[in-house]
Amino acid sequence: MGLIDYFKKIEPDKKKSPFLHTAYDAFFTFLATPNTVTKGGVHMRDGMDLKRTMVHVVLAMQLCYIFGTYNIGHQHFAAMGQYLGIFEGFHLKLAHGIIKLLPLFIVSHVVGLGIEFWYAAKKGHAVEEGYLVTGALIPLIMPPDLPLWILALSIIFAVILVKEAFGGTGMNIWNVALMSRLFVFFAYPTTISGDDVWVSGFEHVREGFEAQYGWGHSLFNTIFGWMGLDGFTGGQVVDGFTGATPLALAYQGGWEAVTAVYSTSDMWWGTIPGSIGESNKLFILLGAGFLLITGIASWRIMLSMFVGAALMGMIMNAWGATPFMEVPWFYQFYMGSFFFAMAFMATDPVTAASTNAGKIAYGFLIGFIGMIVRVMNPAYPEGWMLAIIFMNTFAPLLDRLVLNAHISKRLKSA
């Protein structure tokens, strides 16, 4: 209690220093649960407040962050034909990953939380905690070499126009992190598509292009020198290396084109190019399991989304009009970001359907529509981002239909 009493003594005056008070309140409620949380009421069963709920989601992403950091470095050295083993050059892979991922993480939080703090101070209320998850999600769904100024613009767009314009946390219609990625996709498409963007540290991922290192690599070289470890020595992209994702290869030549470059083990364990957090399927599923066990995420959305995608995949297999359609439906889950979208995007409680039946329909339609977009859209061989945004729009309608059906049923029985 002594620590809490100390923090209460240094609380800034809300009227004289609204921004300082907003910052103080954000950190104070992060350290200690507010005493205004309802316990034992009609609908509140425990003392879990929104901030601690969001922290659970961030904790579920940590394995994705760890592996994503490693895989950034692994893809970089694979392009030069160096340290091809999983544990070869492990320290160099982690160091390169940190150099690329840390700035994305910092910009995501500084820009997003800066906007949140400003709006909270202007409105005279506490900082809304929803950005804790958004800020952690955004770096995981971006390419590692994304220019930081583009990332900042996308966050400004998403937080102001998609969230604050609708009233803040809990009022937004669309998933804020996905809208940030959608902004990059449509405003700066070359930075988030093609083969070059998924492998970091090169001007172009083509034979003969030299690795580009900066002061961060020099700093790590100094540290590694003290420790007697190998440092960054540079190199060129080797002949025959491709930075193409499995989805791009599947669109070009079907499953045979994919397996000619990547094994099913590579795709499951995530040692493939792609968005930073989407690659390792096991770690994503472990995070999904954590969210289910803690009751944060809806199993109805996850299960129905899987069923919808599987059903559409089977229909595509039966149709077989293109090589991509012939990819076995169960291998569709090995490629791309399905599991990441299922675990961390579709289950967003603010933008998803709220009724139980609505959640089932919502998840099923995301899986069903997303598979159509992935396979049949020539400009974008992936579909979950667009499918989730599309179903975010119709989630209130699904809930309304479910509620009207319940009302009609009860009126008839009455």
- Please list the pLDDT of the chain residue by residue as tens digits (414 residues): 566 565 555 556 555 555 555 555 555 555 555 555 554 444 444 455 566 677 889 999 999 999 999 999 999 999 999 999 999 999 999 999 999 999 999 999 999 999 988 888 777 766 666 788 999 999 999 999 999 999 999 999 999 999 988 887 778 999 999 999 999 999 999 898 888 899 999 999 999 999 999 999 999 999 999 999 999 999 999 998 988 999 999 999 999 999 999 999 999 999 999 999 999 999 999 999 999 999 999 999 999 999 999 999 999 999 999 999 999 999 999 999 999 999 999 999 899 999 999 999 999 999 999 999 999 987 777 889 999 999 999 999 999 999 999 999 888 887
Residue 17 lies in a domain: yes
Number of domains in the chain: 1
Q: Which domain holds residue 12?
A: 2-31
Residue 11 lies in a domain: yes
- Find, among 294, 323, 329, the residue nearest to 308 by Cα: 329
Residue 27 lies in a domain: yes
Residue 241 lies in a domain: no
Residue 22 lies in a domain: yes
Alpha-carbon separation of residue 280 from 23, 34, 271, 273, 338 (angstroms): 36, 36, 8, 11, 11
Residue 365 lies in a domain: no
User: 333 CB contacts (<8 Å, ≥6 apart)?
Assistant: 281, 306, 309, 339
Residue 8 lies in a domain: yes
- Around Cβ 226, how many Cβ atoms within 10 Å? 7
- Find, among 402, 397, 334, 332, the residue nearest to 367 by Cα: 332
- Around Cβ 187, how many Cβ atoms within 10 Å? 13
Residue 9 lies in a domain: yes
Q: What is the pTM of this model?
A: 0.87
